Structure 1
Amino acid sequence: MFLAGLFVGAMSHGDIAWLDKQLENISKIAKQANESDNVSLSMFWLILVNNLVATAFAMYLGIAASIMPLFTLALNGLVMGYLFGQLANEGADLWSLILKGILPHGILELPAVFLAGAYGILLGVRLLQGIGRSMTNKPKPWARFAEAMKGSIAIYAVVAILLLVAAVIESTLTLYLVKS
């Protein structure tokens, strides 16, 4: 879903208002951090909280038939692809942007988003299985769902740790590399 969104976003031509709005929101977060007394610390907290909330929603709202994690993965790819497409149209050096602005923290942040999305899909599937097993009077219809919910705590802890380290990298190393 992420790769499909990335491809569609990159192939989009012209301005797309709602994607431009997404990029505007990201710019507002960066501007808010840049106007603070401690840019790195502000960026760290803004990035970490935003990513923790987004991955929690993607993961736990997956209970609703896996829709939210699929949407989140596609939207993240779409926004990133759209941004890259816009920058390429402006003649930006995409490889430098990827190496300096995405790779240092993205190597941890993207797997965290993928893990949260995948587990959200699993929660949705387990819920649907529970409904099906309950309707057909199978023994312990909700056992798999309950097991998945218990496992979600450990999975989210891993996601949170990855996002914490990624936020440290993004608010320090990535910030330094992009400004240099």
Structure 2
Amino acid sequence: MLSLRQFGAHLKNSQTYLWIALLLFVVGFGLGMINAEFIQHIVVGQLQGLQEVSGKLAQSASPELSFFVFIFFNNAIKGVLMIYLGILAGVIPVFFLLVNGMVLGYLIEVQSAHGNSIMDLVLKGLLPHGIIEIPAIIIASAFGIKFGMVSLRGLGRQISGQKESGSREWSAFAKASLNVSLWIVILLFIAAIIESTLTFHLVRG
């Protein structure tokens, strides 16, 4: 179940969905950079919520531990949910990718507009943990989109009377999703450690 080789094989077999997920994230990023009014309406609320939580965690007795617990469970739960909520025709993972891309693009655009160093933001605030976290989220969402397509094909086969073929595809995806989910959690665990320690001190330093 924890086989890294199987994880690699699942990624290889899902390249189309990975490219789709990456494209959606990039589109979201581009929309966030536009900084349009309707984008602000979606993104600002997300960022304000994160700032409020961040402020409370920073005042705790052990900020690093508090940040780690919050970041890990928040990201891990969302990551796994994106895989299995994909059953709804893949709509939720698509929306998740677009919004996360918009948040990142909007954040960079706002920092640039205020004359802040984008290089510092990327190298200190995003790259240390983001190099693991962002791919993990894209992978999880890609499998959510794939689950949506498996569900739609399965429904079509049920209607057309090809139940056996649909059952095999469902079974294969279920096995793959367990392996992928575990590796997503592991990757996000590592990313949370980096974000709550290295990124935390780089940003504050």
Shorter-chain TM-score tier? over 0.9
1:50, distance to aligned residue in structure 2 (A): 0.7
Instruction: Give the distance between the partners of 1:128 and 1:171, measured in 2 at CA.
Output: 40
Name 1:2's counterpart in structure 2: 25
Query: Quick check: 1:58 aligned with 2:82?
Result: yes
Task: Report deviation, 1:53.
Answer: 1.6
Give the C-alpha shift of residue 13 in structure 1: 4.2
Secondary structure of 2:116's counterpart equals coil
Work out the CA distance in 2 between the residues paired with 1:34 and 1:8: 31
Quick one: distance in 2 between partners of 1:139 and 1:59? 23
Alignment of 1:157 with 2:157, yes or no, is: no
How many aligned positions are there? 180
Residue 195 of structure 2 is aligned to residue 170 of structure 1: yes
Q: Which consecutive unaligned segments of at least 5 residues does structure 2 have?
A: 1-23
Partner of 1:142: 167
1:172 Cα deviation (Å)? 0.3
Corresponding position of 2:3: none
Q: Deviations over 1:93-134 (max 9, x none)?
A: 011110011000001101110110011011111111111111
Question: TM-score, structure 1 length as denominator?
Answer: 0.96
Q: Is the 8 A contact 1:57 1:68 kept in 2?
A: no
**Secondary structure, counterpart of 1:142 in structure 2:** helix
Taking only aligned residues, the RMSD between alpha carbons, in angstroms, comes to 1.3
Gaps of 5+ in 1: none
The aligned counterpart of 2:122 is: 98
Is the counterpart of residue 72 in structure 1 residue 111 in structure 2?
Answer: no
Alignment partners' CA distance in 1, 2:190 and 2:56: 21
Is residue 82–residue 144 contact of structure 2 (8 Å, CA) maintained in 1? yes
| % identity of equivalent residues | 35
